[in-house]
Amino acid sequence: MINLEVPKKFATLVGQAHQMAAEVMRPNSRKYDRAEHARPKELDMLAAVIKGMNEGGALSGAGAAGASRSQNGDSADHAGTRNGSNLATVLSVAEVCWGDVGLLLSMPGQGLGNSAIAAVADEEQLQRFGGKWAAMAITEPEAGSDSAAIRTTARLEGDEYVLNGEKIFVTAGDRAELIVVWASLDRDQGRAAIKSFVVERDNPGLKLDRLEHKLGIRASDTANFVLSDCRVPKGNLLGSPEIKAKGGFSGVMQTFDNTRPLVAAMALGVARACLEETRDRLTEAGIEIDYDAPPIAQSAAAAEFIAMEADYEAARLLTLQAAWMADNGKPNSLQASMAKAKAGRVGTEIALRCVALCGTVGYGEGELLEKWARDAKILDIFEGTQQIQLLVIARLLLGKSSSELK
Amino acid sequence: MPRQQQNLTERSMAIGLKALNRFAASPVVDRLGLRDPAERFLYGASKTTVRTAASAGRTFAAAQKLATPARQPTTKPSGLFDLTPTDEQQMLREAVRDFALHRLRPAALEADAACLAPPELLSQSDELGLTMIGVPEELGGAVAERSAVTAVLMSEALAQGDMGLAVACLAPAAVSTALSLWGDEEQQATYLHEFVGERIPAASLAVIEPRALFDPFKLQTRARPANGGYVLSGVKSLVPRAVAGELFVVAAELEGRGPALFIVEATAEGISVEPEPAMGIRAAATGRLTFEDTSIPASALLAGARPEVYAQCIQLGRIAWSALAVGTGQAVLDYVIPYVKDRKAFGEPIANRQAIAFAVSNIAIELDGLRLATYRAASRADQGKSFAREAALARRLASERAMAIGSDGVQLLGGHGYVTEHPVERWYRDLRAAGLMEGVLLV
């Protein structure tokens, strides 16, 4: 039966995530925006508290680790539909990002690499890597969105893979305990040969090159690495080592079906923070928002606010849809990319328009709006840019291969 | 569920819902193969009734009156986020979509030019039982539960065929739904039996007035208490099937009370009607209604002018228009996909170009966002939650994003999109209505 309200059973989870966002994220937002590259130690305490709760604890879904294959231990609570960990995770991620998206990305144990592990690791690997903070290393200087073109190689030598190459833009790469590295087993075999490997952060073959200075999400470290004869045990390859001509790469890409709704959820969190702040400022300025009166019959500011809310609503429901489909074992590549595309772009648009509506209050560093407008932009870029999402969606809708629709 | 199936079968007319039920619910048979005989059965038996201004003289007389007004009960949802329609909704939607794609779509071009829905098509639509969906079972309705979501799914499916014809088909259903939701036992007894009978009256919900920045909460049409009843004066714009109309529900400012709804029979003195064709939804035969000191009885006032009822009426109307935008938007998407894959330029399909492909992606994204926002507003209405905000947001998306879909639909076909040989130019015109109209429809 069609119902698009968030179920009551998630109220505690969302409430706790909100509390964390309001009491830990927000008060530290400006501090770590200014102190780029300083480790937010407040989060270590928080992570310890979360770890202290049992696995099923309400906040366990507050990061990327919560998104995973369907039916991940959730029991169907109603014949017909399932509201499980994917839905719980997008809700809590959005809530924490209402507090601060940079700090969420710096949450120990909640890296995007954790999603990759959760999505494709076998039982033994889950045992070894579970509970550790895992970053994701895909991008290279010559391969960004075109992840099939990555040059990092992995060569099997005895019981070890030897990795060589360069990785850039690794979110939480300096602070994480594990780095999930994408590398090619055989560059002549193209995308099918690309596999992901778990590399311990303290592996001597993994050298930190530098940390980036960024437009926003400065609380989050963005690391560049050089891998030189970096040796990892054979068992650190995630998924099958076999190079399949067909479908091999899709296993790697499958991770994105789980993580794209998460990035969409991050954008929702930032957008809602902007909307709430702006609503307060507009109220102070004497602007009332009337949902019954047509927007054209209201002030331009009120009409603009309703327009922003409408796009927020569309992005939010697209995100919930993608997560709900994942929870119910429905293939959701199309919906995950639609959610990411819509949330990524409206997140940025909303943040920038809110800055404009609030004038110098929005633009000045006295409030957080200007920071949110800087933070929001990354969400339309990482885990697949806006343009990559449109490409993924178009290929699926039009039935085009990547060689036909480039 | 078995109970609902039973009711559907019992309550629907001999042909119509019952037959559709049988055929639509049969998963084994190839429905495409079966459809033609099914339709011959369905539509061959239909009585063609041409309604003209002369037939607007129907007299509405009370049938058996209940002690209290009948209302459809609502179903309590499980509380879980769920995008799955019920089996009954799924069945109705498929039946209506078949009708829309195979009956409405082929008739749309001509109906648009003629500014008239073919009478036989309206009869067929009446037999579908659209006006019965919102009517309580005690009064002959077809569906056990009140569900705005069901009405949204039906509206969406109809508009996938053609928005103008969908409006023509749905206009009487808005009146039967209004009477079911808000009518007292007297009003229900007088009018509702006509909407579950053999010959459904042409009826419309008239809210919008012809002026810039129109706000349905600030009406210029007035209702003045006089002689124990009311006197109406004012102008209503783009009223579907106005010339043929037999019954109207009219929004007017009740002196000292605020905006309210009045049941007005077409035979009342002082009503003039003229055709008012517009850019789109032309098949709905839109017209302008002018009330000049039209006297109506005290019993014409709906829901005692309760402000929350009027607000709900406006909100449910906006959700309905958003649902139509979803249906027509889907028609655009389904049409442009094969077109851009077939159309070649510079030696390959234009779909191989990002400029084209991305436009298709954006249609799909915005369409799905609008659809979900519309479903949410309707499902909140069904759950008795406030839905003013959600209706406003869905409407905003219909007004801007669906409009852009119409525009992109034409653009993707280039010059071919601009000529009536392809339906996209009509959808361009129709989609403008969805974010601008008030009233007319109810979910």
The residue ranking higher by pLDDT, A118 or B253, is B253
Which residues of B are tagged catalytic? 438
**What DSSP character marks residue B153?**
H
Could you count the other beta carbons within 10 Å of the beta carbon of residue B370? 30
Long-range contact set of residues A277-285: C-beta below 8 Å, sequence gap at least 24: A277/A354, A277/A358, A277/A367, A277/A368, A277/A369, A278/A305, A278/A354, A278/A357, A278/A358, A278/A362, A278/A369, A279/A305, A281/A357, A281/A358, A281/A361, A281/A362, A282/A357
A298 pLDDT above the threshold of 50: yes
B420 pLDDT above the threshold of 80: yes
* Phi and psi torsions of B68, nearest 5°: -135, 160
User: Amino acid letter at A73?
Assistant: G
Residue numbers of A between 346 and 405 with CB closer than 8 Å to B = 387, 389-391, 393-395, 397-400, 404-405
Task: Report residue A339 CA to chain centroid gap.
Answer: 12
Residue A257 has what pLDDT? 78
Which neighbouring-strand residues pair with B222? B233, B253
Residue B27 has what pLDDT? 38
> Which tens digits make up the pLDDT trace of B264-291?
999 999 999 999 999 999 999 999 999 9
Residue numbers of A between 6 and 35 with CB closer than 8 Å to B = 6-9
Residue B145 has what pLDDT? 86
Mean of the per-residue pLDDT values of chain B: 88
Mean pLDDT confidence for A95-124: 91
Mean pLDDT confidence for A227-252: 85
Q: State which residue of chain A sits closest to B356, comparing Cα positions.
A: A394
Mean pLDDT confidence for A186-194: 89
Name, of A118-132, A237-251, B132-146, B398-412, the range with top average pLDDT. B398-412
The residue ranking higher by pLDDT, B247 or B31, is B247
Residue B42 has what pLDDT? 35
Are A2 and B379 in contact (CB < 8 Å)? Answer: yes
Are B78 and A78 in contact (CB < 8 Å)? Answer: yes
Residue B314 has what pLDDT? 98
A244 pLDDT above the threshold of 50: yes
Are B358 and A394 in contact (CB < 8 Å)? Answer: yes
Does the model's ipTM exceed the 0.90 cut? Answer: yes
How far is Cα A49 from Cα A99, in angstroms, rounded to an integer?
A: 18
How far is Cα B90 from Cα B434, in angstroms, rounded to an integer?
A: 24
A139 pLDDT above the threshold of 60: yes
Retrieve residue A28's tokens. Answer: 């530290």
User: Amino acid letter at A97?
Assistant: C
CA of B65, closest CA in chain A: separation in Å?
34
Are A338 and B352 in contact (CB < 8 Å)? Answer: no
Residue B38 has what pLDDT? 37
Could you count the other beta carbons within 10 Å of the beta carbon of residue B441? 26
Which neighbouring-strand residues pair with B253? B222, B259
Residue B48 has what pLDDT? 32
Residue B99 has what pLDDT? 95
Judge contact between A119 and A44, C-beta under 8 A.
Answer: no
Share of chain A above pLDDT 70, in %: 91
| Segment holding A225, helix H or strand E | strand A222-233
Torsion over CA: B134, B140, B143, B144 (sign): positive
Mean of the per-residue pLDDT values of chain A: 90
A150 pLDDT above the threshold of 70: yes
Q: State which residue of chain A sits closest to B75, comparing Cα positions.
A: A1
Share of chain B above pLDDT 70, in %: 87
Residue A250 has what pLDDT? 66
Count how many pairs of residues, chain A against chain B, have C-beta atoms within 8 Å: 181
> Which tens digits make up the pLDDT trace of A357-388?
999 999 999 999 999 999 999 999 998 999 99
Could you count the other beta carbons within 10 Å of the beta carbon of residue B68? 8
Which of B30-39, B90-99, B250-259 is predicted least confidently? Answer: B30-39
Which residues of A are tagged catalytic? 383
**What DSSP character marks residue B82?**
B
Residue B28 has what pLDDT? 34
How far is Cα B16 from Cα B136, in angstroms, rounded to an integer?
A: 18
The residue ranking higher by pLDDT, A247 or A278, is A278
Smallest Cβ distance to A393: which of B82, B365, B400?
Answer: B365
Mean pLDDT confidence for B112-129: 93
Which neighbouring-strand residues pair with B274? B288
Retrieve residue A251's tokens. Answer: 């296993």
Q: Give how far Cα A257 sits from Cα of A265, A321, A389, B188, Å.
A: 13, 12, 11, 52
- Provide the total of helices (H) and of strands (E) in chain A, helices listed first: 12, 8
Give the DSSP letter string of A129-182. Answer: HTTS-EEEE--BTTBSS-GGG---EEEEETTEEEEEEEEEEEETTTT-SEEEEE
Angle subtended at Cα A380 by Cα A223 and Cα A361, rounded to the nearest 5 degrees = 95
How far is Cα A112 from Cα A255, in angstroms, rounded to an integer?
A: 9
Are B80 and A306 in contact (CB < 8 Å)? Answer: no
Query: What residues contact residue A109 under an 8 Å CB cut-off, 6+ apart?
Result: A47, A50, A51, A63, A65, A131, A132, A133
Which of A210-214, B9-13, B179-183 is predicted least confidently? Answer: B9-13
The residue ranking higher by pLDDT, B71 or B50, is B71
Residue A68 has what pLDDT? 52
B51 pLDDT above the threshold of 90: no
How far is Cα A114 from Cα A131, in angstroms, rounded to an integer?
A: 9
* Phi and psi torsions of A62, nearest 5°: -80, 5
Strands A222-233 and A160-171: antiparallel
Give the confidence band of B63 by pLDDT, cuts at 50, 70, 90.
confident
Residue A147 has what pLDDT? 74
Statement: the pTM of the whole predicted model exceeds 0.95: no
- Could you tell me where the DSSP H helices lie in B223-343? 307-342
A27 pLDDT above the threshold of 60: yes
First-to-last alpha carbon distance for chain A, in angstroms, is 40
Dihedral Cα A93, A95, A101, A105, nearest 10 deg:
-30
How far is Cα B117 from Cα A238, in angstroms, rounded to an integer?
A: 62
Are A314 and B357 in contact (CB < 8 Å)? Answer: no
Mean pLDDT confidence for B115-132: 92
Strands A206-211 and B222-226: unpaired
A120 pLDDT above the threshold of 70: yes
- Could you tell me where the DSSP H helices lie in B162-254? 163-182, 185-187, 193-195
B353 pLDDT above the threshold of 60: yes
Nearest Cα to B86, choosing from B166, B150, B164, B37? Answer: B150
Q: State which residue of chain B sits closest to A404, comparing Cα positions.
A: B352
Give the confidence band of B390 by pLDDT, cuts at 50, 70, 90.
very high
> Which tens digits make up the pLDDT trace of A43-87?
988 887 776 653 443 344 445 555 554 444 444 444 689 999 999
Residue A267 has what pLDDT? 98
